[in-house]
Each structure stands twice: as C-alpha cells, then as structure tokens.
Amino acid sequence: MFFKTEASPAAAMRSRSGCYALPMPAVSVILPTHDRPELLTRSARSVLEQSFEDLELIVVDDGSRVPAEGALRCPEDRRTRVLRSDVPLGPARARNLGLEVAAGDWIAFQDDDDEWLPGKLERQMESALRADPRLGVVYCPFWRVGRDGSRIPARHPEVSSGQAFHEELLRGNFIGLPTAVVRRGCFEEVGRFDPALRCFEDWELFIRIAARFDFECIDEPLVQAHDSPSSINKADSAIQAEAFRRILDNHREAIEANPSVHADFMFHIAHHLCMSGDLRRGREFAGRALRVRPSLRGAVTLATSFFGGGAYRILARLYDDLRRAG
C-alpha cells in the first residue's frame, strides 16, 4: 500500500526559513510539535548539539496556539527551519509535510518530548553511510524515562532483519520513531505515513519497510523517551481500536498467515472497543479472536465484557496489574 501526502493549502502552511542555507544535508530531521514549547526546546537542542553536524532540522508546528518558533531559541543556527500549519494535522500528516521538503538522503525523526543522547546520530550514520542499499533503517534501543527521572530500557527483541524481523514487528512495535534513521529510498518505494492513522503510524510504516528492506540495530540506548501526559501511547481507546483495525486491513495477508498474530490483532481491537464502551463490537472481535486461536486472554476479554463498560475497565486494569506482577 502506497500513501502519498495530500497537497497542503497555501493558507494552512507557511515556511519560515530564516537564513537557512543547507541545500543538501546528509540527514533531514523531522520534528513535529503541538503546544509543548517547554519540551520542544530540549528536544531540538538535543538534535542540534549532535556531533554529526551535517543535518537540517525541520520543525513542523502542527497548529500550536502559540507559534513554536519562539521556543526554539536557536535563530542563529542556519540548519533549522519551521513549517507552520494553522490547523492541527495530526502526527502522520505533520511528518508527511516535513517529508515533502526534506533534502537529506537519510531521514531521521524526533518527538518534541524526547531527547537524543550525545553521539546518537554519529553512531547511526557510521553504519548508514557504509551500508548496502538493502539497508533501509538504522535504529537503536531507548530508555523510558519516568516523571520521577527513573530510567528503564524499552522492550528490544533479539531479532535481525528478514522474515523473522518482519513477523516480530507484526506482533508489536519495538522501534521508537526517534531512534530511527531511514533511507529516503524507503519512502519512494513503500510510501509515507498513512494519513488515516491517528496513532501507531510509525509502527505501520515500519511494517511496510521491513517487508522490502533490512534493518540494523546499534545495540546501545541512544534516545530518552520521556513520559508526558499527552504522549501518543496514551491515545484514546477508540482511536487505538480503529488504528489496530486499519493496520489489520493494510496488512491482512501477512497478519492472517500467522494465527497467533491474527488473534492478537483481534484481541487488541476487542479490548480497546470494550475500554471505550463499545461492548457489542468488542464481544464480536473477542469471539473472532477465540475462533482464530483460543486463549485465556481472549476468553477473559469476552467474559468480562458482559459486566458492563465500567466494570470491564476496572477488571481489565486489575488483570494487567496481575500479569505485570507475575
């Protein structure tokens, strides 16, 4: 499936380039932001202070009430420019807007609440610039940073490129988008972010890329993903249910080829529908999950859905707490 970027109305997007003068950087870094100026400063600085300096930073101000340009505090850095949309586009469309103007042969991504650690881009570009053309993505593990400053490593499976890697990605995303540097040719071959997705757009893109390109992991956490109240992974359950359904539709053949993966998708759709209060459709998808592959999790989801939305949410959280404790 190939996703192009919709043309942006001139009234909705303005480019502020200042004294920008880097027509052909090695890496274009795309950083969307929306109403988080206090976080944007740290995020952008962590990019511009990288030891690998041959980059451009494209900040996409996604309809912020107060223009984000003032929060950058780096007007003297000629590598930075700001694209401003007067209306919120959402993460996928905002990143696609950045991709339209990116000049680099490699594309990196940053989130406005995350932080690149020193040397991150240099380590990755050492691999990228000597790589075979089949290499599409260089990524790394990352730290999850709590609001109390605690750090824990994110899940990082022991898989390499190829079919096993693609299958592991179908089970769930383990690549943080700010950890990835992507060859421009990947977007030319598989398309850009799916604009219909309001969350998980990075996961869906990686699934498409992994079907055609290799991935390489720099085995060191080089990004800090900070917990914040408006993080994408805290998206509304109804939005998550729709995203799982969309990804299932986009990759149905690959997903249905593996019964456990197929059942997991059905379960996730069922769970998030029930969490959002749509119990009837939740039970429908839970039943489908059990028919594809019987499991305790699917049975618990189906049975618990009959207690009502409020009870389901309480019991589901208790189940998750017990599973994590065990």
Domain end marker among 231, 260, 278: 231
Inter-residue contact 138 to 219 (CB < 8 Å): no
Rounded Cα distance, 174 and 67, in Å: 32
Q: Which whole number is the average pLDDT over 239-249?
A: 97
Which residue carries 């589901």 as its tokens? 316
Quick one: pLDDT at residue 213? 95
Kindly report, residue by residue over 21-50, the tens digit of the pLDDT: 456 899 999 999 999 988 999 999 999 999
Does 3 map to a domain? no
- Choice among 71-75, 108-112, 190-194 with the minimum mean pLDDT: 71-75
The pTM (predicted TM-score) of the whole model is 0.89
pLDDT confidence of residue 74: 59
d(CA 16, CA 84): 8
Q: What is the DSSP track for 153-219?
A: EPP--S--SSHHHHHHHHH-----GGG-EEEHHHHHHH-S--TT-SS-HHHHHHHHHHTTSEEEE-S
Question: pLDDT tens, 278-310?
Answer: 999 999 999 999 999 999 888 988 999 999 999
Strand partners, 215: 137
Q: What's the CATH code of the domain at 63? A: 3.90.550.10
CA dist list (Å): 86 to 36, 111, 155, 162, 166: 16, 19, 37, 41, 37
My answer on whether 227 and 241 are in the same domain is no
- pLDDT given for residue 163 in this prediction: 82
Is the domain of 139 the same as that of 192? Answer: yes
- pLDDT for the residue numbered 232: 47
Same domain, residue pair 210 and 247: no
Q: What band does 157 get if pLDDT is binned at 50, 70 and 90?
A: confident
Instruction: Give whichever of 20-24, 58-62, 319-323 has the largest mean pLDDT.
Output: 58-62
202 and 83 both lie in a single domain: yes
Confidence of residue 9 (pLDDT cuts 50, 70, 90): very low
66 and 175 assigned to the same domain: yes
Looking at the structure, do residues 137 and 168 belong to the same domain, yes or no?
Answer: yes
Percentage of the chain modeled with pLDDT above 90: 71
Task: Identify whether residues 246 and 226 lie together within a single domain.
Answer: no
For residues 88-100, average pLDDT: 96
Do the Cβ atoms of 108 and 176 come closer than 8 Å? no
The verdict on residue 208 lying in a domain is yes
Domain boundary among 209, 231, 253: 231
Per DSSP, the three-state class of 7 is coil
- Same domain? 227 vs 307: no
Confidence label for 230 from pLDDT (cuts 50, 70 and 90): low
Q: Are 228 and 237 in contact (CB under 8 A)?
A: no
**Residue 2 counted as domain residue:** no
Predicted confidence (pLDDT) at residue 4 exceeds the cutoff of 70: no
Inside any domain, residue 79: yes
**Domain that includes residue 152, residue range:** 10-231
Question: Could you give the number of structural domains in the chain?
Answer: 2
Residues 212 and 241 in one domain: no
In a domain, 4, yes or no: no
**Lowest mean pLDDT segment, chosen from 41-45, 170-174, 189-193, 231-235:** 231-235
Do 152 and 104 lie in a common domain? yes
Helix, coil or strand: residue 56: strand
Question: What's the pLDDT band for 20 if we cut at 50, 70, 90?
Answer: very low
Q: What is the mean pLDDT of residues 172-191?
A: 97
Query: Is residue 5 in a domain?
Result: no
Q: Are residues 261 and 195 in the same domain?
A: no
Other C-beta atoms within 10 Å of 326: how many? 5
Whether residues 205 and 249 share a domain: the answer is: no
Question: What DSSP line would sit under 92-150, residue for residue?
Answer: HHHHHHHHHH---SEEEE--TTEEEPTTHHHHHHHHHTTS-TTEEEEE---EEE-TTS-
* % the chain with pLDDT above 70: 88
Domain end (from 197, 231, 265): 231
Determine how many CB atoms are found less than 10 A away from the CB of residue 218: 17
Check residues 59 and 297 and name the one with the higher pLDDT.
59
230-233: long-range contacts at Cβ-Cβ below 8 A with a sequence spacing of 24 or more?
A: 230/36, 231/113, 232/91, 232/199, 233/199
For residue 211, is it within any domain?
Answer: yes
